[in-house]
Amino acid sequence: MPDPYFQHDTTGVKRMYALEMINITKEFLGVKALDRVSFKVKKGEIHALCGENGAGKSTLMKVLSGLYPTGTYDGEIRIDGKPVSFRNIVDAEQAGIAIIHQELALVKEMTVGENIFLGREPRKFGVIQWDQLYYEAETWLKKVGLTISPQTKIHSLGIGQQQLVEIAKALAKQANILILDEPTAALTESEVEILMGILEQLRAQGVACIYISHKMPEVFRLADSITVLRDGKSIVTLSRAETNEDEVVALMVGRELTERYPYVKKTLGHVVLEVKNYSVWHKEKPMKINDSIHITVRAGEIVGIAGLMGAGRTELAMSLFGAYEGKAEGQVWLEGKQVHIRSVQDAIRSGIALVTEDRKRLGLILGMDVKTNTTLASLKNISRLQVINQNEELKWSQKYVDELKTKTASLETAVGTLSGGNQQKVVLAKWLMAKPKLLILDEPTRGIDVGAKYEIYHLMNKLAKEGVAIMMISSELPEILGMSDRIYVMREGRIVKQLSHDEATQENIMMAATGGE
């Protein structure tokens, strides 16, 4: 009888699975984020988990780390062959799972040592043994190649060093299964080398590492096996030896373009936006988030900006809109005139509008009603001597509710109670009312239903036809391909490729975005 917990690998040696996730299905209100995903990691293996933004990688890891407790998903998790169920993160940690998050989860005001042992401080009769804590912290720091004192406060460290502290913290938990979610996003070349070294050591010690990364060169340098997720399904698990970068990228994006996009060929007008040699500095550190950007957008054109998360697209949009705190250099020309945009007010005055990626946090005032949100950016146009003409306000907001087919009980309904698609329509209405020449859309259809998506696509085409220049940032490749007249691909703060509508394919965009060959 074949033992289900053992399998013969290429060398013919029986190796046990450290982790098996079998038929994991996770639904959010009827939408399947994970659909019968199976994922198995052997001991002493570095296993890369690849997939586009939104493919389900993070959801899967949240299931594994106990963030989504047992019962909120279907399927089975086994560790060392034994079925387990986690009620919370502590359960998962006790089972030997440690996760290193993409966003740093360190307490900035505490020392390195305190962070490494946060919640697990060595104590005697409830009293923290500080000497022991700092002594042990130092040994863990040495393992990750950090020579700093464990009494240093986190906020005085650079992002790369913080990432290494985060790794030391995970190691200190003596985890058997280590999850790394985009660990190199903030690291310099030499720090990446250190990390690679640590991971190879861990592999030798028999730790199972799950390595989530968009960066193909890293994946192919480190991983023993690669599992590709797509649209919430586990597509395939390959061993590194039997595949190559091209195949993995193709598998990541491989879905058929079943959704239709209402692309229309447009007649382009004059140049509306011209950005020359534009760089944006990080708001705290001396590093460039955007470097030597050149972009043009014409009237009536939809220009797509593709790239992976963290490529610097949102920062570029915010900076052009005068809303990014970091310093910007270079030139911005609007309709043939050089402009210096220092604030959002400047941007609105010059005819720029920005629909932000996070509508709940940045786009809307959720407690306020539909009409107040609609008119918020253009109150000047409906006021005289600072007094708002409330009839004009009703008229305009009703006009946009009708035009965009926003489903709302009334104009006095708080926008927080509307569905995502209708909320996004209110944000769009706010900026349409400001009559922009250049409309920047950052992830305009994120988290909204299909019906509303198409209405927004049609609206974009209509606006382009009216001569508005549209710059659309999107992480959804089909959307970029389906809607853009021209596409810029960004990677690590730079424009690495420009493609026309006809040239662009999912593969060549993904290749440019991941820096593959």
Partner 1 sequence: MEIKAVIEQQPKKKNVFGKIDIRAYTMIGALIAIWIFFGMLNETFLSARNLSNLFTQMSVTAILAIGMVLVIVAGHIDLSVGSIVGLTGGVAAILSNWMGMPTSVVILCTLLAGALVGLVQGWLVAYRAIPAFIVTLGGMMIFRGALMGITKSTTIPIFDAQFIALGSAYFTDVFGIILAAMAVVALFVSTFRKRKSRQQYGFTVSPLPFELTKLFVISALILVFVVTMNSYKGIPFPIIFVIALALIFSFIATKTTFGRHVYAIGGNVEAARLSGINIQLHTMMLFVFTGLLSAIAALVLTARLSSATISAGQMYELDAIAACVIGGTSLMGGSGTIIGAIIGAMVMTSLDNGMSLLGMETFWQYIVKGSILILAVWIDIASRKRKTN
Residues that bind partner 1 (CB under 8 A): 28-29, 31, 33, 54-56, 58-59, 232, 321, 323, 343-345, 347-348, 354, 356, 360-368, 372, 376-377, 379-380, 383, 386-388, 390-391, 394-395, 407-410, 412-413, 416-420, 422, 430, 447, 449
Minimal distance, residue 373 CB to partner 1, in Å: 9
Minimal distance, residue 416 CB to partner 1, in Å: 8
Of residues 79 and 364, the one with the C-beta less far from partner 1: 364
The angle subtended at Cα 297 by Cα 327 and Cα 507, nearest 5°, is 95
Of residues 115 and 350, the one with the C-beta less far from partner 1: 350
Minimal distance, residue 55 CB to partner 1, in Å: 7
Give the integer Cα–Cα distance in Å for 510 and 478.
11
Of residues 360 and 462, the one with the C-beta less far from partner 1: 360
Token pair of 309, please? 């998360």
Minimal distance, residue 231 CB to partner 1, in Å: 9
Minimal distance, residue 305 CB to partner 1, in Å: 19
Give the integer Cα–Cα distance in Å for 479 and 488.
14
Minimal distance, residue 218 CB to partner 1, in Å: 23
Minimal distance, residue 337 CB to partner 1, in Å: 20
Alpha-carbon distances of 225 from 3, 8, 136, 239, 253, rounded to whole Å? 22, 15, 33, 4, 19
Alpha-carbon distances of 148 from 50, 101, 112, 259, rounded to whole Å? 33, 22, 9, 52
Minimal distance, residue 447 CB to partner 1, in Å: 5
Of residues 35 and 91, the one with the C-beta less far from partner 1: 35
Contacts of 50 (CB under 8 A, 6+ apart): 57, 212, 213, 214, 219, 226, 227, 228, 229, 248, 252
Of residues 178 and 452, the one with the C-beta less far from partner 1: 452
Of residues 329 and 358, the one with the C-beta less far from partner 1: 358
Of residues 397 and 514, the one with the C-beta less far from partner 1: 397
DSSP one-letter string for 308-339: -TTSSHHHHHHHHTT--SS-EEEEEEETTEEE
Number of Cβ within a 10 Å radius of residue 327: 12
Tell me the one-letter amino acid at 252: M
Number of Cβ within a 10 Å radius of residue 421: 20
Minimal distance, residue 46 CB to partner 1, in Å: 25
Number of Cβ within a 10 Å radius of residue 199: 20
Of residues 99 and 168, the one with the C-beta less far from partner 1: 99
SS3 for 231-242 is CCEEEEEEEHHH
Of residues 285 and 407, the one with the C-beta less far from partner 1: 407
Number of Cβ within a 10 Å radius of residue 223: 24
Alpha-carbon distances of 343 from 245, 338, 383, rounded to whole Å? 43, 16, 22
| Residue 17 · residue 79 · CB < 8 Å | no
